Amino acid sequence: MEETHKIEKHEIIDLASEYLVLCRRWRGTGARLSEPEVERLLELRRALESLLGAGPPRGVHYTLRKGLRVPLVLEVRFRSGVEVYDGRLVEIAEEGVFIATSETAPPGTRIRVELINCDEVLEGDVVRIRGPHDPSGPPGIAIHLKNLTPTQGSLMLDLVEGALSVRLGGDCGSPDQRDG
């Protein structure tokens, strides 16, 4: 009989911390990761998404996305052309967001997203629409963020890290940050 290992909370926090260290080095400094490091980053992302219940939508292959998707609820205002809409950001990744909304725009549409509590405006393109009858989650739009400034990139990593910490009930910073 096969024995299953129940993953402990501290093990999940360690996975998240390892992911964030690699991710900050890669995205934060632009450093090139070695092939084994990239493979480890993707392995960690898949494991964390599975544990958090935030994997990609059905039919989307993991290699299409680079960032860890984490559940997070944040009020946003978004603009498509001159139209302005309110919505709720419900998932976040380092370079993307999913906004739950009944207002949609076709894939390829440029969207400006205002993170209301962060006083920041991000730009990106709609990459996917989830309709009202899709069982994978609320209706809305997935946006791939473009041309993030270093400050915006750091903010996105901070939001992912904060969402992980809240979701896991622990500090997911690097070991140096946790010990300091």
pLDDT in tens, the chain (180 residues): 444 456 677 777 888 888 888 887 877 666 788 889 888 988 888 888 777 766 555 555 545 456 778 888 889 999 988 889 999 999 988 889 999 998 888 999 999 999 887 788 999 999 999 999 988 788 999 999 999 888 888 888 888 888 887 777 766 554 444 444
- Can you give the pTM of this predicted structure? 0.74
Strand partners, 93: 96
Residue boundaries of the structural domains of the chain: 9-66+171-179, 70-167
Residue type, 163: A
pLDDT for residue 112:
94
CATH architecture for the domain at 70-167: Beta Barrel (2.40)
